[in-house]
Amino acid sequence: MSAPAKPKKRKKSAGGQILELIVIVAIALGLALVIQAVLVKPYRIPSPSMEPTLDINQRVLVNRIGMDFSDPEIGEIVVFHPPQGAEDNQCGNDPDPGQACGRPTTEKSDQNFIKRVVAGPGDALAIRNGRVILNGKLQKESFIEPCQPGQECNFPDPIRVPAGHWFMMGDNRGASDDSRFWGPVPKDWIIGDAFFTYWPPERIGVL
């Protein structure tokens, strides 16, 4: 007795194949948008303020969920919303001569900035020749671009970073508009930490 014949597989029509392709592409795009909105977001470096660590037009990936579970750490590179008026170096208080801005304006800007965290809540911070003095100790910052003597590079009188705020500075200390001029940043304004650079190819690597 012969075995029953196997049913022939039905070939998909051209229209069915196109529909399947459209569905696959739509799902892939949807996943990409969800990943970018919730998990990881690409960011382009717009200025020389983070040189020599990050150059203009270099691309990095930003972890958008890390700040939901932990506080920023000193030394991390983060993307954040600066306070309103940062583009004009507006400070939320009137600092004494020789002091950096100790408090931001009350509203956040829609802009995105990328800087390095150099001090956290409760820290005493002063700046000498562009280098951070944190709680009385001069920090080892081999990654910075040296700062030329000048007003923007020297804030010798310490300020105290307010609770829930982090002080941000660019690595290119003589060419960075940062917390020295518009104050520390509340945690709620921090988007996430930059953890990987993917462009240009010769700069690919972990930050």
DSSP state letters, the chain: -PPPPPPPPPPPPHHHHHHHHHHHHHHHHHHHHHIIIIIEEEEE--SGGGTTTS-TT-EEEEESSGGGTS---TT-EEEEPPBTTGGGT--SS-PPTT----S--SSB-S--EEEEEEE-TT-EEEEETTEEEETTEE---TTSBP--SSGGG-EEEEEEPPTTEEEEE-SBTTS---HHHH--EEGGGEEEEEEEEEESGGG-EE-
8 has catalytic annotation:
no
From the candidates 49, 109, 176, 179, which is the catalytic residue?
Answer: 49
Beta carbons within 10 angstroms of residue 173's beta carbon: 23
Catalytic residue chosen out of the listed positions 2, 13, 70, 115 = 115
Q: Look up 109 and say whether it is catalytic.
A: no
Residues annotated as catalytic (active site), given as ranges: 49, 115
